[in-house]
Protein backbone atom coordinates (compact mmCIF):
# COMPACT_ATOMS: atom_id res chain seq x y z
CA UNK A 1 0.00 0.00 0.00
CA UNK A 2 2.49 2.67 1.10
CA UNK A 3 5.39 3.38 -1.26
CA UNK A 4 3.86 2.04 -4.51
CA UNK A 5 4.23 3.93 -7.79
CA UNK A 6 1.39 6.51 -8.08
CA UNK A 7 -1.07 6.46 -11.00
CA UNK A 8 -2.27 10.04 -10.43
CA UNK A 9 -0.84 13.32 -9.10
CA UNK A 10 -2.77 12.75 -5.89
CA UNK A 11 -2.76 9.62 -3.74
CA UNK A 12 -5.36 9.52 -0.99
CA UNK A 13 -4.84 7.18 1.92
CA UNK A 14 -8.44 6.48 2.55
CA UNK A 15 -11.01 4.28 4.28
CA UNK A 16 -14.50 3.91 2.88
CA UNK A 17 -16.28 4.70 6.13
CA UNK A 18 -13.95 7.43 7.36
CA UNK A 19 -15.86 10.70 7.45
CA UNK A 20 -12.63 12.72 7.50
CA UNK A 21 -11.47 10.97 4.30
CA UNK A 22 -14.97 11.40 2.83
CA UNK A 23 -14.48 15.20 3.15
CA UNK A 24 -11.31 15.07 1.10
CA UNK A 25 -12.92 12.83 -1.53
CA UNK A 26 -15.76 15.36 -1.95
CA UNK A 27 -13.33 18.29 -2.22
CA UNK A 28 -11.15 16.52 -4.79
CA UNK A 29 -14.25 15.70 -6.83
CA UNK A 30 -15.64 19.24 -6.60
CA UNK A 31 -12.29 20.56 -7.81
CA UNK A 32 -12.24 18.02 -10.63
CA UNK A 33 -8.97 16.48 -9.44
CA UNK A 34 -8.34 12.81 -10.23
CA UNK A 35 -6.75 10.77 -7.46
CA UNK A 36 -5.76 7.26 -6.60
CA UNK A 37 -7.38 5.80 -3.50
CA UNK A 38 -5.18 3.61 -1.30
CA UNK A 39 -7.38 2.03 1.33
CA UNK A 40 -6.07 1.79 4.90
CA UNK A 41 -8.28 -0.72 6.72
CA UNK A 42 -8.95 0.79 10.14
CA UNK A 43 -10.00 -2.50 11.78
CA UNK A 44 -8.11 -5.31 10.05
CA UNK A 45 -5.25 -6.78 12.09
CA UNK A 46 -5.67 -4.17 14.79
CA UNK A 47 -5.83 -1.32 12.26
CA UNK A 48 -3.54 -0.71 9.29
CA UNK A 49 -3.27 2.94 10.36
CA UNK A 50 -0.91 1.71 13.10
CA UNK A 51 1.49 -0.06 10.70
CA UNK A 52 4.99 1.47 10.68
CA UNK A 53 4.84 2.33 6.94
CA UNK A 54 1.63 4.33 7.41
CA UNK A 55 2.83 5.90 10.67
CA UNK A 56 5.80 7.25 8.73
CA UNK A 57 3.32 9.18 6.57
CA UNK A 58 1.02 10.26 9.37
CA UNK A 59 2.43 9.96 12.89
CA UNK A 60 -1.10 10.50 14.24
CA UNK A 61 -2.10 7.12 12.75
CA UNK A 62 -5.31 8.55 11.31
CA UNK A 63 -6.73 8.77 7.81
CA UNK A 64 -6.85 10.69 5.57
CA UNK A 65 -3.43 11.49 4.24
CA UNK A 66 -3.02 13.04 0.80
CA UNK A 67 0.25 12.74 -1.09
CA UNK A 68 1.16 14.93 -4.03
CA UNK A 69 4.55 14.00 -5.41
CA UNK A 70 6.84 14.07 -2.39
CA UNK A 71 4.46 16.25 -0.35
CA UNK A 72 2.52 14.58 2.45
CA UNK A 73 -0.57 16.36 3.72
CA UNK A 74 -2.56 15.40 6.81
CA UNK A 75 -5.64 16.73 8.63
CA UNK A 76 -8.68 16.84 6.37
CA UNK A 77 -9.46 20.54 6.94
CA UNK A 78 -5.89 21.54 6.13
CA UNK A 79 -5.96 19.31 3.04
CA UNK A 80 -9.22 20.82 1.78
CA UNK A 81 -7.89 24.35 2.33
CA UNK A 82 -4.68 23.38 0.51
CA UNK A 83 -6.75 22.21 -2.46
CA UNK A 84 -8.72 25.46 -2.30
CA UNK A 85 -5.54 27.55 -2.39
CA UNK A 86 -3.86 25.56 -5.14
CA UNK A 87 -7.03 25.12 -7.25
CA UNK A 88 -9.21 28.15 -6.49
CA UNK A 89 -11.93 27.28 -9.01
CA UNK A 90 -14.62 26.39 -8.26
CA UNK A 91 -14.30 28.13 -4.87
CA UNK A 92 -15.22 26.32 -1.67
CA UNK A 93 -14.99 29.52 0.38
CA UNK A 94 -16.92 32.78 -0.12
CA UNK A 95 -15.17 35.88 -1.50
CA UNK A 96 -15.87 38.02 1.59
CA UNK A 97 -14.14 37.68 4.96
CA UNK A 98 -17.39 37.52 6.92
CA UNK A 99 -18.67 34.77 4.66
CA UNK A 100 -15.44 32.81 5.02
CA UNK A 101 -15.64 33.14 8.81
CA UNK A 102 -19.21 31.84 8.76
CA UNK A 103 -18.37 28.87 6.56
CA UNK A 104 -15.25 28.00 8.57
CA UNK A 105 -17.27 28.23 11.81
CA UNK A 106 -19.81 25.72 10.45
CA UNK A 107 -17.02 23.45 9.24
CA UNK A 108 -15.15 23.63 12.54
CA UNK A 109 -18.31 23.01 14.53
CA UNK A 110 -18.24 19.55 12.97
CA UNK A 111 -14.51 18.98 12.57
CA UNK A 112 -13.45 20.23 16.03
CA UNK A 113 -16.47 19.71 18.27
CA UNK A 114 -18.46 16.75 16.94
CA UNK A 115 -16.31 14.38 14.88
CA UNK A 116 -13.43 13.83 17.39
CA UNK A 117 -15.84 12.58 20.07
CA UNK A 118 -16.97 9.73 17.84
CA UNK A 119 -13.69 8.65 16.38
CA UNK A 120 -12.91 4.93 16.32
CA UNK A 121 -10.12 5.22 18.90
CA UNK A 122 -12.43 7.12 21.28
CA UNK A 123 -15.12 4.45 20.99
CA UNK A 124 -12.51 1.73 21.48
CA UNK A 125 -11.28 3.52 24.62
CA UNK A 126 -14.82 3.87 25.98
CA UNK A 127 -15.15 0.12 25.60
CA UNK A 128 -11.78 -1.00 26.97
CA UNK A 129 -11.39 1.53 29.79
CA UNK A 130 -15.00 2.07 30.89
CA UNK A 131 -16.72 -1.11 29.68
CA UNK A 132 -19.17 0.77 27.45
CA UNK A 133 -21.24 -1.82 25.62
CA UNK A 134 -22.64 -1.30 22.08
CA UNK A 135 -25.84 0.30 23.46
CA UNK A 136 -23.88 2.77 25.59
CA UNK A 137 -21.58 3.62 22.68
CA UNK A 138 -24.62 4.24 20.49
CA UNK A 139 -26.09 6.58 23.13
CA UNK A 140 -22.78 8.43 23.32
CA UNK A 141 -22.65 8.86 19.55
CA UNK A 142 -26.24 10.03 19.20
CA UNK A 143 -25.86 12.47 22.10
CA UNK A 144 -22.84 14.28 20.63
CA UNK A 145 -23.95 14.18 17.02
CA UNK A 146 -27.40 15.51 17.97
CA UNK A 147 -25.85 18.36 19.99
CA UNK A 148 -23.72 19.34 17.01
CA UNK A 149 -26.47 19.04 14.39
CA UNK A 150 -28.86 21.05 16.59
CA UNK A 151 -26.38 23.92 16.73
CA UNK A 152 -25.61 23.60 13.02
CA UNK A 153 -29.34 23.76 12.23
CA UNK A 154 -29.72 26.91 14.36
CA UNK A 155 -26.83 28.59 12.50
CA UNK A 156 -28.48 27.79 9.18
CA UNK A 157 -31.41 30.03 10.19
CA UNK A 158 -29.26 33.17 9.91
CA UNK A 159 -30.38 33.91 6.35
CA UNK A 160 -27.07 33.11 4.59
CA UNK A 161 -27.95 29.57 3.61
CA UNK A 162 -29.55 28.84 0.25
CA UNK A 163 -29.65 25.59 -1.61
CA UNK A 164 -26.41 24.81 0.24
CA UNK A 165 -24.98 25.89 3.60
CA UNK A 166 -23.78 29.23 2.22
CA UNK A 167 -25.78 30.50 -0.73
CA UNK A 168 -26.44 28.46 -3.81
CA UNK A 169 -23.05 26.88 -4.51
CA UNK A 170 -21.58 23.94 -2.57
CA UNK A 171 -18.65 24.82 -0.33
CA UNK A 172 -16.54 23.88 2.67
CA UNK A 173 -19.45 23.68 5.13
CA UNK A 174 -21.25 21.22 2.84
CA UNK A 175 -18.04 19.19 2.48
CA UNK A 176 -18.10 18.74 6.28
CA UNK A 177 -21.85 18.38 6.71
CA UNK A 178 -22.51 15.48 4.36
CA UNK A 179 -20.08 12.99 5.97
CA UNK A 180 -21.34 13.95 9.43
CA UNK A 181 -24.93 13.28 8.34
CA UNK A 182 -23.76 9.93 6.99
CA UNK A 183 -22.45 9.21 10.50
CA UNK A 184 -25.70 10.37 12.09
CA UNK A 185 -27.70 7.97 9.93
CA UNK A 186 -25.23 5.18 10.57
CA UNK A 187 -25.92 5.60 14.30
CA UNK A 188 -29.71 5.73 13.73
CA UNK A 189 -30.12 9.39 14.60
CA UNK A 190 -33.30 10.61 12.87
CA UNK A 191 -32.94 13.85 10.90
CA UNK A 192 -36.51 15.17 11.24
CA UNK A 193 -35.43 17.68 13.89
CA UNK A 194 -33.02 19.29 11.42
CA UNK A 195 -35.09 20.21 8.35
CA UNK A 196 -32.69 22.79 6.91
CA UNK A 197 -29.59 20.63 7.04
CA UNK A 198 -31.65 17.65 5.93
CA UNK A 199 -32.64 19.58 2.78
CA UNK A 200 -29.08 20.72 2.13
CA UNK A 201 -27.83 17.15 2.55
CA UNK A 202 -30.33 16.02 -0.10
CA UNK A 203 -29.29 18.85 -2.45
CA UNK A 204 -25.60 17.95 -2.09
CA UNK A 205 -26.31 14.31 -2.83
CA UNK A 206 -27.82 15.27 -6.16
CA UNK A 207 -24.31 16.31 -7.24
CA UNK A 208 -22.03 13.69 -8.75
CA UNK A 209 -19.05 15.04 -6.78
CA UNK A 210 -20.80 14.09 -3.53
CA UNK A 211 -22.33 10.87 -4.84
CA UNK A 212 -18.99 9.55 -6.12
CA UNK A 213 -17.42 10.24 -2.70
CA UNK A 214 -20.06 8.25 -0.80
CA UNK A 215 -18.74 5.39 1.37
CA UNK A 216 -20.59 2.67 -0.51
CA UNK A 217 -19.01 3.80 -3.80
CA UNK A 218 -15.44 3.33 -2.55
CA UNK A 219 -13.25 0.46 -3.80
CA UNK A 220 -12.77 -0.95 -0.29
CA UNK A 221 -16.48 -0.86 0.63
CA UNK A 222 -17.90 -4.32 1.28
CA UNK A 223 -20.34 -5.56 -1.37
CA UNK A 224 -24.00 -4.81 -0.57
CA UNK A 225 -25.59 -7.53 1.61
N1 LIG B 1 -8.80 15.67 12.59
C2 LIG B 1 -8.48 14.58 11.72
C3 LIG B 1 -9.29 13.38 12.13
C4 LIG B 1 -8.92 12.14 11.35
C5 LIG B 1 -9.62 10.94 11.94
O6 LIG B 1 -10.08 10.96 13.08
N7 LIG B 1 -9.67 9.85 11.15
C8 LIG B 1 -10.32 8.65 11.63
C9 LIG B 1 -11.31 8.14 10.59
S10 LIG B 1 -12.64 9.30 10.37
C11 LIG B 1 -9.29 7.58 11.86
O12 LIG B 1 -8.35 7.45 11.11
N13 LIG B 1 -9.46 6.80 12.94
C14 LIG B 1 -8.60 5.72 13.24
C15 LIG B 1 -8.52 5.42 14.69
O16 LIG B 1 -9.28 6.02 15.47
O17 LIG B 1 -7.71 4.56 15.06
C18 LIG B 1 -8.78 14.98 10.27
O19 LIG B 1 -9.69 15.78 10.08
O20 LIG B 1 -8.11 14.49 9.36
CATH label of the domain that carries residue 144: 1.20.1050.10
Mutate to test the pocket of ligand 1, among 119, 172, 187, 215 (most ligand atoms within 8 A of CB): 119
| 217 domain residue, yes or no | no
Judgement on whether residues 40 and 67 belong to the same structural domain of the protein: yes
Residue 169 pLDDT greater than 70, yes or no: yes
Is residue 41 within 6 Å of ligand 1 at its C-beta? Answer: no
As a whole number of angstroms, the distance between CA 197 and CA 163 comes to 10
Structure confidence at residue 1 (pLDDT): 61
As a whole number of angstroms, the distance between CA 33 and CA 54 comes to 23
Residue 2 pLDDT greater than 90, yes or no: no
Query: Predicted confidence band at 186 (pLDDT cuts at 50, 70, 90)?
Result: very high
pTM: 0.97
| 2 domain residue, yes or no | no
Domains of the chain: total: 2
CATH label of the domain that carries residue 71: 3.40.30.10
3-state SS, 179-213, equals HHHHHHHHCCCCCCCCHHHHHHHHHHCCCHHHHHH
Cβ neighbors of 200 (< 8 A, separation 6 or more) are 156, 161, 163, 164, 165, 174, 177
| CA nearest ligand 1 atom 9, residue | 18
Structure confidence at residue 3 (pLDDT): 63
3-state secondary structure of 79: helix
Residue 7 pLDDT greater than 90, yes or no: no
Q: 26-50 pLDDT, tens per residue?
A: 999 999 999 999 999 999 999 999 9
Residue 105 pLDDT greater than 80, yes or no: yes
Examine the fold and report which residue of 90, 108, 123 is the final residue of a domain before the chain moves on: 90
Is residue 183 within 6 Å of ligand 1 at its C-beta? Answer: no
Examine the fold and report which residue of 71, 90, 109 is the final residue of a domain before the chain moves on: 90
For residue 82, the enclosing domain spans 10-90
* Concatenated DSSP letters of 6-66: PSSSEEEEE-TT-HHHHHHHHHHHHTT--EEEEE--SSGGG-GGGSHHHHHH-TT--S-EE
158 CA to centre of ligand 1 in angstroms = 31
| 218 domain residue, yes or no | no
Is residue 75 within 6 Å of ligand 1 at its C-beta? Answer: yes
Judgement on whether residues 49 and 121 belong to the same structural domain of the protein: no
Judgement on whether residues 140 and 189 belong to the same structural domain of the protein: yes
Amino acid sequence: MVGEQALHDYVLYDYWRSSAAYRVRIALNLKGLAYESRPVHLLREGGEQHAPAYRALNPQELVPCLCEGGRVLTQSMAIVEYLEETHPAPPLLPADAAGRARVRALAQLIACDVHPLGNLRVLQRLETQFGADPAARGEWMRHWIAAGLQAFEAHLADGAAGRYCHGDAPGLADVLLVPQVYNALRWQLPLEDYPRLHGIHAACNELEAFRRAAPERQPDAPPPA
